[in-house]
Structure 1
Amino acid sequence: LAQSSLNVSLFGQLDPEPIHYAGSWAYIAPLGEEYALIGAYHGLSVISIDDSTNIYQVDWVTGPSSNWREITVIGSHAFVVSEGGTGDVGMQVIDLSFLPDSVSQVTTFDSTFGKSHIIEKDILGDPNYVYVCGSAPSAGRGVHIIDVSDPDHPREVAQYAPGYAHDCHVRGDTMYVAAIYDGYLDVVDISDKANPVRITQLFYPNAFTHSCWTSKDNTHLFVTDEVDGLLAHIYDIRDLNNITPVATYSANTQSLIHNCYIRGDFGFVTHNTEGLRILDLVKPDVPVEVGYYDTWAGASGGFHGLWSACPFFPSGKIIGANRHDGLYVWQFNETYAGRIYGLVRDSVTGLPLSAVAIQITQTGDSTLSRTDGSYAFGAIPAGSGGYSVTFIKSGYVSQSLNTPLNAHDSLHFVVDLVPVGFVGTTPALSDEALVFPTKCKGLLKVRSASNFKSELLIFDVNGKLQGTWPIPGPAESHIVLDALPNGVYLFKLSGHQGLHKQGKFVLHR
């Protein structure tokens, strides 16, 4: 069960057919009126959402009975598909131009497929085509590319069908195809709509590739897998022949991520039992959750909660179809995140530290430093007290820092963790003792300015004790290191009254 909401407010809600809901899409009339189109069990519901006090169903178009019904809109026509019915139920084409009075079905395209799972379009590009995925019966059950420039007479121009295509995303001349059961993503050149050609394929561990969407600047791809426990992945796609993973995301790994739709700087994620989640994707390699609204009161996991979300309204409204209780309409206050970057090192050796747990006390969020010691994370802006960030690694003394964090911040901190047992240099003993040279050829010297007895301990860079030498004082003592190989070493000099000194030296003969 997720928390209820953050930075997202409910504008309105409607449950027109209390059975089951699936897809949702936006229609904006010529004079700016906004309508939500949602896929219900027995058909398409067209809902006016301009007035939060009067959200109502304007009209209804019956279709094959199904839990799955998806919609897209081009111009003044809606295109609707479902997995319901028998025979050639095809794609319904619905004229929306007479709203707010009524809508009407003008035709059904059923010449090349019957049932189908989803329908997509290029929301930023060519408005003349729709792309139908997960169809049956049809050879290969791939993607049907359909010319709808004359919506009364749709015309299929090609099929891309190397195998089953569950969903797709189209951006310009490129189509990304989610081959869910085969566990990969196809990247396809569709510059010639009649002749789609595969560019490359993306494979990754445990893939159950369900859906994807490109970032605002078309440099990154957000990919989801429809399985509880699997993370969403973000890939750098600037070079399609070298697609590179850069980040992962999940609000709760007990709940699967269904879809992500990106508008501007934000990703709008349908996260099933975790509801709507909103990500700041200004830096796609460091996605930050900045808002959410939970739509499911039960336990996390399984096929419950939010199916779809559509953020493509000029007003900024977001709509979603919740499986069990219909339409939600939200407003998001567009909170941006700040980000913190840096490096974690061993304070004695200066070497980078990996797998350091980095935790924000106020939020409970955490991340790990990478193999090169670097780290990056983000959070919503801190309050007046700022954030307390703690760095934790076994064998080291934990360290915390306090910092303000504002929207759009990119802060940088280098953190040096002290190994346990090397808790710093005590000034009193620093004044009394000197261990030198820092670069020695086999002879290390300890010199004291007063009469004290101490003990010199030498460790390798992994903290393993290499030897112990008594230092009688006050004269200069010489430590012969013939038994030690060349390398970097740490020392600890313990003196009277618990005083001590620490440091490092390089042995090179």
Structure 2
Amino acid sequence: ITDPANPYETGFIPGASSTWRDIKTYLTYAYVTNESSGGIEIIDLTDPENPGDLANYTGITRAHNLFIDESTGLLYTAGSNLNAGGTRILDLTNPTNPVEIASWELAYFHDVMVQNGRLYGSGINNATLYVLDVSNPTGGIATLATKSGYPNAFTHNAWVTPDDAYVMTTDETTGAACRMWDLSNLSNLVEVDNYLPNAATIPHNTHIDGDIAVISHYTLGVKIVDVSTPNNLQEVGYYDTWPSDDGGGFNGCWGAFPFFGTTPGLIVASDQSTGLYVLEYKGVLGTVSGTVTEAGNPGVLIAGADVEVVETGVSTTTDGAGDYTVQDVAGAVNLQVSAFAYQTATVPVNIAAGSTSSLDVQLTPVAGSSVAGTVADANTSAALDGATVEVVSTPLTQTTAGGGAYSLASVPAGSYTFRAKVFGYNALEKTVAVPAGGSLTGDFDLNPTTVVADDYESGPGTWTVTG
């Protein structure tokens, strides 16, 4: 996904048959678990175009999930085949030869996440969130907090905010909310808000990246929630990977990964049935709208003007009444407005999140000249009414009438190709340098062309049938 718009597969590593795999990366290696057999598969990604399958870690047979704390180089398993299926902690000092240094086996973990010396374990079997002290795992692991007994508890996944102040949980059951818990008092975790987009659906996993939570929400697809104010969670975006059904069940988005440091806003989401999605979250949107008119003549509405947000390239075109509406990421931007025969204007505007800003724009006409003339038969000088005279690559065009005459009131200064055409005659083009001010005369004498008439119904006549 170096080019997010054109992802492609660089390699395929076969593995044991399993309904589930989890993959995490560390340095130039990938570590793969499954719920079948074979332990932890280690893949060398030094050359991503040619990944190499290395010897597996076989200290466990299987695991549901794993997490790698990149700051310490420690890998934490979740739901392995050993003992209760809690967590096994592996040292990745030698990435190709992990070494177990500690374990915690007081409950089964379906998922784990570690940040700044704390492990957040999702005990799905006993519907409990665990907070463990793993700051010195070889010296012992202490339980700092637990939370259970809340509505729809079936603790599947948990992710902590960057400041370690709050943790969001998901419960893989119908009607469960994504809950935000205050960690300031570990002896009493308090729910400060929750996110429930549809009571008939099931959340799967949440990952918090900065101020947003990216949630894989089965039939609802990917949900993006603003967590900057933890006691006021707000949905700010979504992408439905399973649009055919927003009911309950386990169809739809299985996972959504937002951690691409060099490409902020990039999200990769997997849907069990519809495939892999590469998405971009641009931020909270706002709207700016207005009318484009001629400077000094507000009654002249400019249709077909191009309106573009300079910073993002988001653009639109004014309608017949000169009106436009642009929706883009909130913030201070510059709006560039351009139209034929007018000077381009660049105007600053602040796009407010979740609301509409108003900005009318006036464009100054470009100085030009009038161009007039006639279109006639080159052989007989007879006037040709109904001929089209156009200025190529501009919206200027007129049809001759009354002695083959045409008149363009204002053509902006510049060099143009004028073209005259009418049925039965060869088109004629002329290059004309239009000055800034004054008037020009441009006559066109068109040469007749051969016109063949045939009813074709009684036979091909003079036509030749090919193919």
Partner of 1:50: 3
Partner of 1:102: 50
1:73 is aligned to 2:25: yes
Distance in structure 1 (CA, Å) of the matches to 2:112 and 2:66: 8
Deviation at 1:406, TM superposition (A): 4.0
Q: Which among 307, 312, 319 is matched to residue 268 of structure 2?
A: 319
Distance in structure 2 (CA, Å) of the matches to 1:408 and 1:304: 31
Partner of 1:308: 255
Deviation at 1:408, TM superposition (A): 9.2
Partner of 2:124: 180
The amino acid that maps onto 2:211 is D
1:243 is aligned to 2:189: yes
Deviation at 1:334, TM superposition (A): 1.1
Deviation at 1:49, TM superposition (A): 4.5
Distance in structure 1 (CA, Å) of the matches to 2:104 and 2:116: 16
Partner of 1:155: 99
TM-score of the superposed pair, with normalisation by structure 1: 0.55
Deviation at 1:172, TM superposition (A): 1.3
Q: Which among 73, 87, 93 is matched to residue 42 of structure 2?
A: 93
Distance in structure 2 (CA, Å) of the matches to 1:91 and 1:117: 11
Say whether the 8 Å CA contact 1:49–1:56 is kept in structure 2: no
Say whether the 8 Å CA contact 2:122–2:156 is kept in structure 1: yes
Structure 1 residues 370-381: aligned runs within 5 Å: none
Partner of 1:132: 77
Partner of 2:180: 234
Distance in structure 1 (CA, Å) of the matches to 2:4 and 2:211: 27
Q: Which among 236, 250, 253 is matched to residue 199 of structure 2?
A: 253
Deviation at 1:152, TM superposition (A): 1.4
The amino acid that maps onto 1:108 is N
> Which 5+ residue runs of structure 1 have no aligned equivalent?
1-47, 338-379, 382-404, 410-509
Partner of 2:113: 169
Q: Between Structure 1 and Structure 2, how many residues are aligned? A: 290
- Secondary structure at the counterpart of residue 289 of structure 1: strand
Task: Describe the superposition over 1:221-261 as per-residue Cα deviations: whole angstroms up to 9, x where unpaired.
Answer: 10110001111110111222232110011211211110111
Larger Rg: 2
Distance in structure 2 (CA, Å) of the matches to 1:172 and 1:408: 35
The amino acid that maps onto 2:119 is M
Partner of 1:144: 88
- Secondary structure at the counterpart of residue 66 of structure 1: coil
Deviation at 1:84, TM superposition (A): 2.5
- Secondary structure at the counterpart of residue 57 of structure 1: coil
Deviation at 1:142, TM superposition (A): 0.9
Distance in structure 1 (CA, Å) of the matches to 2:120 and 2:183: 11
Distance in structure 1 (CA, Å) of the matches to 2:40 and 2:98: 9
Partner of 1:385: none
Task: Describe the superposition over 1:477-501 as per-residue Cα deviations: whole angstroms up to 9, x where unpaired.
Answer: xxxxxxxxxxxxxxxxxxxxxxxxx
The amino acid that maps onto 2:142 is V
Does the C-alpha gap of structure 1 residues 178 and 84 become closer, same or farther in structure 2, counting only changes over 3 Å?
same
Deviation at 1:336, TM superposition (A): 6.6
Say whether the 8 Å CA contact 1:118–1:132 is kept in structure 2: yes
Q: Which among 1, 4, 14 is matched to residue 62 of structure 1?
A: 14
- Secondary structure at the counterpart of residue 93 of structure 1: strand
Say whether the 8 Å CA contact 1:184–1:201 is kept in structure 2: yes
Say whether the 8 Å CA contact 2:220–2:243 is kept in structure 1: no
Distance in structure 2 (CA, Å) of the matches to 1:168 and 1:312: 17
Partner of 2:64: 117
Distance in structure 2 (CA, Å) of the matches to 1:406 and 1:292: 20
Structure 1 residues 235-384: aligned runs within 5 Å: 235-299=181-245, 300-313=247-260, 314-316=262-264, 317-335=266-284
Task: Describe the superposition over 1:88-147 as per-residue Cα deviations: whole angstroms up to 9, x where unpaired.
Answer: x10011110112x30112221112x21111111235x32x111111111x1111111111
TM-score of the superposed pair, with normalisation by structure 2: 0.59
> Which 5+ residue runs of structure 2 have no aligned equivalent?
287-328, 331-350, 356-467
Does the C-alpha gap of structure 1 residues 176 and 336 become closer, same or farther in structure 2, counting only changes over 3 Å?
farther
Q: Taking CA–CA contacts closer than 8 Å with sequence separation of 6 or more, which of the two structures ends up with the larger relative contact order?
A: 1
Distance in structure 1 (CA, Å) of the matches to 2:168 and 2:68: 17
Partner of 2:311: none
Say whether the 8 Å CA contact 1:232–1:250 is kept in structure 2: yes
Q: Which among 141, 163, 180 is matched to residue 196 of structure 1?
A: 141
**Percent of aligned pairs with the same amino acid:** 31
Say whether the 8 Å CA contact 2:284–2:354 is kept in structure 1: no
Deviation at 1:285, TM superposition (A): 0.7
